């Protein structure tokens, strides 16, 4: 039977409602509505950063300015992606985006310790060019394995470029002679960069993101345990909501802190408005400390 106009209007009016087929589950407001102050803070941070970045003219001869601006834009977009996921309750998927913010930060921190930041930035970009070339070669080799036509001249060109232009990124060959490449532009992994960070918190964040939350980023069996064995007794829905809200707030706090520190680590990016970092941090503290904030 077709729904009446009034029924359709009522459904549209319940913004953020999530309806389950389970009769034990009532219509629920989404985290976007339940945690409105939190996501308002997200929008304030990314909106401010967007206006500053896109309001700053970039010239082709200002390579460091353009580089820092592009890193900041990547950070802004990562924070937006984390917000979109968490607004719908998908905090476990936002963990992967938060790890991306962490890796951007530790790389920019290490870049900032270099005596010649411009030369270090060029090294960073050269490693990016290496990754692009390796990606193109893998595509050609995959098509070749599948019996598809390939551009042999392009493959030969890529082989020559990889052999002559990126020798400083080559690792020790495997026992069978197969070439290897260093793991990053700095020849260091995330753990080592975290250890070298000037921030004492970085290793704690590393342990959290790469150990405690690794199960969510990789969807290991342990990430399913709570849901598989949860008892559906009285009040179980409220318990799930409370647990998810805590995880959303924890993930949000981590993502926001990492983004603000990333912004601070970019000397040629548009500067953060004076006092804004402290203001946003204070707002986050209030959100964390006020469980009755969520109505």
What's residue 56's pLDDT?
83
**Cross-strand partners of 104:** none
187, pLDDT greater than 50: yes
pLDDT > 50? residue 125: yes
Q: Is the pLDDT of residue 236 over 60?
A: yes
Q: Is residue 273 part of a domain?
A: yes
pLDDT at 226 (0 to 100): 67
**So what's the pLDDT on residue 72?**
97
Condensed to tens digits (0 to 9), the pLDDT of residues 7-61 reads: 544 444 444 444 445 544 445 788 999 999 999 999 999 999 999 999 888 776 6
Contact of 123 with 141, CB cutoff 8 Å: no
225 phi and psi, to 5 degrees?
A: -55, -50
The more confidently predicted of residues 285 and 202 is 202
Ranges of beta strands (E only) in the chain are: 17-18, 28-29
Instruction: Please check whether residue 109 lies inside any domain of the structure.
Output: yes
Q: Does residue 247 form part of some domain? A: yes
Q: Of 64-68, 144-148, 154-158, 288-292, which gets the smallest average pLDDT?
A: 288-292
The answer to whether residue 181 is domain-embedded is no
Global pTM reads 0.82
Per-residue model confidence (pLDDT) at position 57: 81
Any domain includes 155: no
Instruction: Give the contacts of 228 (CB within 8 A, at least 6 positions apart).
Output: none
- Nearest residue to 89 (alpha-carbon basis) of 41, 23, 13, 18: 18
Return the CA Rg of the chain.
24
- pLDDT value, residue 24: 45
**Tally of domains within the chain:** 1
Domain-embedded: residue 124: no
Question: Comparing 285 with 126, which gets the higher pLDDT?
Answer: 126
**What pLDDT does residue 14 have?**
42
Range of the domain at 199: 30-115+191-287
């Amino acid at each position: 039977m077709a729904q009446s106009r009034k029924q359709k209007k009522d459904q549209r009016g319940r913004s953020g409602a999530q309806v389950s087929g389970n009769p034990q589950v009532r219509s629920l407001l989404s985290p976007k509505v339940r945690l409105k102050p939190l996501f308002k803070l997200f929008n304030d941070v990314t909106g401010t950063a967007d206006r500053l970045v896109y309001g700053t003219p970039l010239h082709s001869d200002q390579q460091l300015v353009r580089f820092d601006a592009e890193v900041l834009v990547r950070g802004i977009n990562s924070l937006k992606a984390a917000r979109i996921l968490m607004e719908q309750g998908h905090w476990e998927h936002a963990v992967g985006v938060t790890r991306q913010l962490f890796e951007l930060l530790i790389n920019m921190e290490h870049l900032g310790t270099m005596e010649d930041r411009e030369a270090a930035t060029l090294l960073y970009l050269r490693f990016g060019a290496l990754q692009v070339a390796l990606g193109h070669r893998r595509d050609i080799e995959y098509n070749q394995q599948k019996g598809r036509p390939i551009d042999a001249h392009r493959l030969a060109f890529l082989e020559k470029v990889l052999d002559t232009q990126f020798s400083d990124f080559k690792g020790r060959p495997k026992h069978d002679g197969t070439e290897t490449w260093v793991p990053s532009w700095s020849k260091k992994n995330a753990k080592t960069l975290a250890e070298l960070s000037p921030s004492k918190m970085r290793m704690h964040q590393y342990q959290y993101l790469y150990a405690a939350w690794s199960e969510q980023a990789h969807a290991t069996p342990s990430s399913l345990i709570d849901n598989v064995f949860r008892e559906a007794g009285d009040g179980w829905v409220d318990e799930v909501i409370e647990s998810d809200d805590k995880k959303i707030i924890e993930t949000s706090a981590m993502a926001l802190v990492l983004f603000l520190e990333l912004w601070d680590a970019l000397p040629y990016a548009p500067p953060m408005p004076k006092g804004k970092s402290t203001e946003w941090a204070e707002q986050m503290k209030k959100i964390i400390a006020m469980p009755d904030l969520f109505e």
